[in-house]
Amino acid sequence: MSQNDSAAGATQDLPTIADLHQAATRIKPYAHMTPTFSSTGIDARVRANLVFKAENLQKAGAFKFRGACNAVMSLDNESAQRGVITHSSGNHAAALALAARLRGINATIVMPDNAPAVKKAAVASYGARIKFCESTEQAREATVARLCEATPMELIHPYNDARIIAGQGTAALELLAQSPQLDAIIAPIGGGGLLSGTAIAANSLGIKVWGAEPANADDAARSLAAGRIIPVVNPDTVADGLRTSLGPLTFAVLRNSIEGIITVDEAYIVEAMRLIWERLKIIAEPSGAVPLGALLQHGAPAGVQRIGLIISGGNVDLDTLPWIQA
């Protein structure tokens, strides 16, 4: 790994393309190679050729299993036996719980009390211990710190961890192998683990990358524009997986490796989610629909025609679908 950009305040080394390939080898026995989908109807709508990487069909229902699996399977035995802990609104929580179960170790998950019911149920089903807290980054981190002080455990951060970034980047490695003709990839961004890994994979082949972010939780766009991390405050978006702020490590990767962040209004997120359900016949959660929402709202970036979109997850509470609530 190369040395980090100290100005970004990160404390770990930046992952490299070699780390992504190592992660791909490490998780291969456990993770699915997810399929890609396309739709001529959606292509006509956005006037571009799209390839959807269906990480909603990944184990635990989201790309998060890749990073969690890479982190857990890379632990030495002594660290693993202490058990793992994290804080997450849902997808990383379920992913880490499953990865820990596969390795035969304990997992403790700190979840905000307003996390979707379907994600709470998934974490519980994998056998993890759940501790609830208020829905703020500060509350999550304080709860983790208190639990680790009482019982030392290995912290696997949801995104600000080189092992996580490398694992998440394997989704883009697969996508680029499945569709080598792509001009660009658009991935959703919350904490930035997926987009960071995607950028490392795509940059190695000279392919452009954009992030897509809810306009109501646009801290990543504002942070990269300002050159410093600006934490999200009271994000009000249907894309519950994208309500987190960038970490020092993901900020350090992204500041020099992507074309920019496209912000998306709530109506376009919901429209994109429904369009994926109707046209691709697969379930995408709101966060996974944000990249398509970016194209519906703004069109394809100039000079880009063949675009890969990562559907990051498919964990949806079917009793609270956004088009039913409206």
Residues designated as active site: 64, 89
CB 309 within 8 A of CB 50: yes
CA distances to 54, 189, 228 from 9, rounded to whole Å, are 33, 20, 9
DSSP assigned state of 2:
B
Write the secondary structure of 197-242 as one string of H (helix), E (strand) and C (coil).
HHHHHHHCCCCEEEEEEEHHHCHHHHHHHHCCCCCCCCCCCCCHHH
Torsional class of 47: left (φ above 0), alpha (ψ -120 to 50), beta (otherwise): left
Kindly state the helix (H) or strand (E) to which residue 267 belongs, with its residue range. Answer: helix 266-275
Determine the angle formed by the axes of helices 17-27 and 162-178, rounding to 10 degrees.
80
Residue whose C-alpha is closest to residue 291's, from 302, 303, 275, 278: 275
Q: How many CB atoms lie within 10 A of CB 2?
A: 9
CB 109 within 8 A of CB 165: no
Question: How far is it, in rounded angstroms, from Cα 285 to Cα 306?
Answer: 23
Helix, strand, coil percent values for the chain (each to nearest 5): 50, 15, 35
Which strands sit side by side in the sheet containing 184-188, from one edge to the other? 36-37, 49-54, 306-311, 184-188, 208-214, 260-264
Structure tokens at 70: 């890479």
